[in-house]
Chains A and B, each alone.
Chain A
């Protein structure tokens, strides 16, 4: 103990600096969490109170949902394919090849389709929302909305968040189908499984809860991705650098939150 105290005294300026830096970053994280929670609550409040700009919600649904289809579809297809291939090489060591169909369908619907779709949409949509709203902040367009009697939260944030929460489950449902089909292609064409048996095993193991839990996750992830894009864009710093930082932060925080909430929702559904 004495040794430690002496060490700290001898190195006091450095030690102090380290403690200060750690304390400072903890305070920053807590402050950011508080600000994000307040922003989320304000957004939810605005979602419930009229007016809702339905046309904007529709346009955002197309932007977030329809235009993300290729990315999410490709991700699901190759994930399903590689899953069948990997589980075959693993399970053949235990002569358990028949479990491949179950592994593919359960992993895709419960985990991989929602998480990977969430992460891909975070990269595509979260970044673009943050860049768009951030640029509007920097060029005073958000202030202009206020002076034209339009609440920027309602006009910019609410449509994106609602569209995110509605469209990601749809994307994930399509991803589920494509992912399972990817596994089916590899199993029947490469691994030479019987199509009838593979489909039978897929259907027999799948329960409603597997799909529903994935869709609930997707709705939460969609909300989080749009919320993080809006939050970081809305609070963007000045200039090109500020918008750049907002975009990066939107993608990073959305991705981390997706992974954290994925665990929490899994725990709620399957514990």
Chain B
């Protein structure tokens, strides 16, 4: 089960590994409510540069909202979210747009643009975000498709013509196309068969390692979490209730974490 990524993680102390150095992503006291429903109730999280952090937690605990609040797709009501020390909450839209250039994201459903061919989907961020010519962008897109195990033959097909697993790979190629410093993975293995899920997990580990990127993944798939993570944080009722290195997961001493990783119906977390 120990992958290169987890071994790399084991060389560092549990978080916060070095409070004096600047974290890549730092959230403190982030609150977000939709009407009367408080989804995030003071999230504190620190992700070090080059680390892979996985957030685990049940459905409806605020995982997706947390990820989207970092990207500014959902505006946090309170608290601070810093990327490389730069504040995202309340930042001017121009500053936020330039910070967003550091990000790549793999969406849960792929979110491929269905009106565009595969290669154009992968090249999209290069053409519009980095003003690279279409010919050059196509070459890079095909390289990235090769990296995720897809041949040039599918480059001119449309997303609807591919299976779910292949769409996920294309979405992964799109997320890494611009060589981002930070990559977010939103439930990368949901809806895939166990073998394809493992293929995606391995690709994620490989891509993150190749890019030297900082990764933040949300999932409730424990096999995926153990494979991808250096560090794991658990979110429950809008708060981070436990953070630690992946090796500590099985002896966290936290009843919520224990219940979740063993998938027990009985315990402190009650089903809704």
Contacts and interface: CB of A to CB of B under 8 A. Distances in A.
Contacts of B103: 147
B188 to A, nearest CB: 14
Nearest to A51: B128
Contacts of A16: none
A207 B247 CA distance: 84
Nearest to B105: A147
8 contacts: A140-B107, A140-B108, A143-B71, A143-B111, A146-B100, A147-B103, A148-B125, A150-B124
Interface string A194-222: 00000000000000000000000000000
A177 to B, nearest CB: 34
Which of A136, A148, A155 has the most B CB atoms < 10 Å from its CB?
A: A148
Given A143-B105, A148-B125, A148-B128, 7 more contacts: A141-B114, A143-B68, A146-B100, A147-B71, A147-B184, A149-B129, A150-B124
A144 B129 contact: no
A interface, how many residues as a size bin?
10 to 19
A149 B109 contact: no
B131 to A, nearest CB: 10
A227 B142 CA distance: 37
Interface of A: 136, 139-141, 143-144, 146-151, 155
B111 A148 contact: no
A155 B97 CA distance: 14
A136 B113 CA distance: 8
B101 interface: yes
Contacts of A140: 107-109, 111
A146 B73 CA distance: 8
A74 B263 CA distance: 64
B100 A144 contact: no
